[in-house]
Structure 1
Amino acid sequence: MLNLSMKPTGWFQIGWSAEIPPGGVKPMKYFGHDLVAFRSDAGVLTVLDAHCPHMGAHLGYGGKVKGDCIACPYHGWEWGAEGQNTLIPGEERRIPKKMRKWHAVERHGILFLWHDPSDLGGKPREGWELPDIFAHPDLPADPQDFYPCYPDAIVFKPDERIHPQLMTENAADTAHFRYTHHAPEDPVLLEFDTSTTVWKSQMGFLNKHTKEIALRLHARNAGVGLSFTIFEHGALGRRLVLSCTPVDDEISDLRVSYFFPRDPISPEVMPEHVRKMARQTEELFEEDARMWRHQRFRQQPIFARRDVEGYRALRKWCKQFYEAEGYPIGPLKVMEDE
């Protein structure tokens, strides 16, 4: 991806909570760093650098949870939830060196990691909000009124050669819905707000016959690579978390998480008609991913006039997340009349 860093600042999804049960250990790699995630017997999640300071073994492959610590599979050294050394077998001493801990949070069954290339493992910056898919100020909802996204309404596409910027630009892209997703009418970007580190926008889909707004998409983008969308519609009402998390300088892991409203007739078990909608999520994702996999990022694109306002605002907003190497985004060009 030409001069576009794969190490942006912000929040990123690294998995789903149910993938790491109490006592569970999972190896990960994001932003070029080997990581290990483990859950204590009491259920507390911790993410650390993966390699034991003793002899460099990867704790994610064979490491065992011992209470609230993880034990190295090589020589049994144990490390606590703050990365501190808690045990050297056969010795009374502890070493002062800590393993780097990464700031991770769980929300509605989804795991999120804070990444700051200037302060690896540091706490989130003040004002850098992680949106809550159920706490929208205009459309709040009780999470208990929705089926969990995992495992029935998710998509996981690891190791994709896709940059998170490509996914993020869908927030301002109204024209692709007709051609990529076969929408009968082009939606309208009704409003957007770039005043904070969260992109806020509303897009309206028009009824083909009445030309009135039939479906509204309320989007919250937490930087590049993480998008929260509410579908405001009776039958199609649902909530979506879409993520693209860089693994290294070449590839990303992509995830889709849908929250469907519970059916009053079957509130505990997702009924077949909802499962059918959930199964369609992969094809909906593929409609976009087929473009992204082969797309060439244009630092100086040529846009149609109707799109340039939203794109210009979005790309200007995106610049704040690219603090690592690589000049992020160049100026825009507008398609001139011939």
Structure 2
Amino acid sequence: MTTADDSLPATAPRPARPPRAVPAGDGPALPTPSGWFCLALSGELRRGAVLTRRFATEDVVLYRTRRGEVRATRPYCPHMGAHLGVGGTVEGDTLVCPFHRFAFGADGGCVSDPDGVLLRTGVAHLPVLERNGFLYVWHGHDDEPPGWELPALPGPEVRPTAHWAVETDTHPQEVVENVTDFRHLGTLHRLAVRQMTPAAADGPYLRTNLRSVAGRIPFFGTLSWEKSTLMAGLGWTLTQLELPRFGMAVHLWGLPTPIGPWRTVLRVAAACEITDPERVPGPDLPAVRAALTRTVARSTLRMTARIIRQDVPIWNHKRYEPRPRLAAGDQSVGIYRHWVRQFYPPGAN
């Protein structure tokens, strides 16, 4: 998968090969965890559009009604198995099968067909959530309903202005674990970081705090900042970088989604908002401020993409260690490993 932002370096092509069913070596596999996972950006699904995305071990069909409501459904028509995402259409608030024109409504039930004969069964809808310009679908074990919500952070008006994605042979748990593995930030990425407090868990949420020298951003130079990262399950992380000196804050989303056994697409997006207008140039020039915030968001995303590209070869070839031999200073990794157990069936992790 290549970047969605042409200004960012594209993911290097590599020979086609089947994804690993289990981690490298003889390590155990991990099932799909429960939680909310991003399947698309809001802008990818216009009113009346249908979109198919791979999620875990099957396709999910997303569609947006003419009134703007987003729905997610399993892919196959219960009549004779046509794929609703291949030729399916939206008519008003219904999803219409391309094969025999059966139409399915808000509850998944069949509401019409050209002959006036309704099916007694419908399509299975999945819990879907639209927030801050992203579309999320819930995965629950044994179809359990959502047990918690994604945090309403930042405000609903903050939406990403830069985004990028990459596929890798790994599991979402391995991706999110990097947030708590402070040791690799110095050894692999050459980042000077200092952990402010150990990782802190609160139900399905986990928070970390770091102080780091992040790199150069146009107009600002080399920045040192404190950043806090909030994790909600294994499909959502939000890092908030406060820049009070410049009256800005940067929001960076990391959204790993499983698309097959030990195969993950990682979406990364950034937004910058003005928190102190008095410190930002161009008080009477909204276009200048908008261009500045877009530049900061894109620059932050560029730095993040470079870091992730260093992680990808590690993820593609490492073995999952269910009981890692942690060293001094790995306290947050231990907290993380205990925290993730809640997202799996008993005995799976």
Question: Is 1:191 aligned with 2:198?
Answer: yes
Per-residue CA deviation, residues 228-258 of structure 1 (Å, 9 max, x unaligned), is: 1111234584111101111122312210011
Question: Is 1:112 aligned with 2:136?
Answer: yes
Q: 1:315 to 1:267 in 2, by over 3 A?
A: same
- Provide the rounded CA distance (Å) in 2 between the counterparts of 1:3 and 1:287: 24
Out of 58-67 and 285-294, give the one that drifted further: 285-294
Tell me, what secondary structure is at the counterpart of 1:285? helix
Question: Is 1:52 aligned with 2:77?
Answer: yes
Indicate conservation of the 8 Å contact 2:59/2:74, yes or no: yes
Shift of 1:75: 1.4
Which residue number corresponds to residue 174 of structure 1? 182
Which residue number corresponds to residue 154 of structure 1? 163
Q: 1:218 to 1:181 in 2, by over 3 A?
A: same
Shift of 1:295: 2.0
Which residue number corresponds to residue 226 of structure 2? 216
For residue 311 of structure 2, the aligned residue among 288, 308, 332 is 288
Tell me, what secondary structure is at the counterpart of 1:291? helix
Note the residue ranges of structure 1 that are not aligned, 5 or more in a row: 135-141, 208-212, 329-338
Which residue number corresponds to residue 41 of structure 1? 66
For residue 129 of structure 1, the aligned residue among 139, 149, 154 is 149
- Provide the rounded CA distance (Å) in 1 between the counterparts of 2:113 and 2:235: 40
Shift of 1:223: 1.4
- Provide the rounded CA distance (Å) in 2 between the counterparts of 1:273 and 1:223: 30
Indicate conservation of the 8 Å contact 1:187/1:206, yes or no: no
Which residue number corresponds to residue 68 of structure 1? 93
Out of 39-48 and 248-257, give the one that drifted further: 248-257
For residue 260 of structure 2, the aligned residue among 242, 248, 260 is 248
Note the residue ranges of structure 2 that are not aligned, 5 or more in a row: 1-22, 215-222, 275-279, 283-287
| Aligned length in residues | 303
- Structure 1 residue ranges (4+ consecutive) displaced by more than 3 angstroms after TM superposition: 233-237, 262-265, 267-281
Tell me, what secondary structure is at the counterpart of 1:261? strand
- Provide the rounded CA distance (Å) in 1 between the counterparts of 2:156 and 2:69: 21
What is the percent sequence identity of the aligned residues?
28
Per-residue CA deviation, residues 274-307 of structure 1 (Å, 9 max, x unaligned), is: 3444444422331332322222211222222111
Q: 1:270 to 1:66 in 2, by over 3 A?
A: farther
Which residue number corresponds to residue 138 of structure 1? none
- Provide the rounded CA distance (Å) in 1 between the counterparts of 2:194 and 2:31: 30
TM-score by length of 2: 0.79
Q: Which amino acid aligns with 2:184?
A: H
- Provide the rounded CA distance (Å) in 2 between the counterparts of 1:222 and 1:196: 9
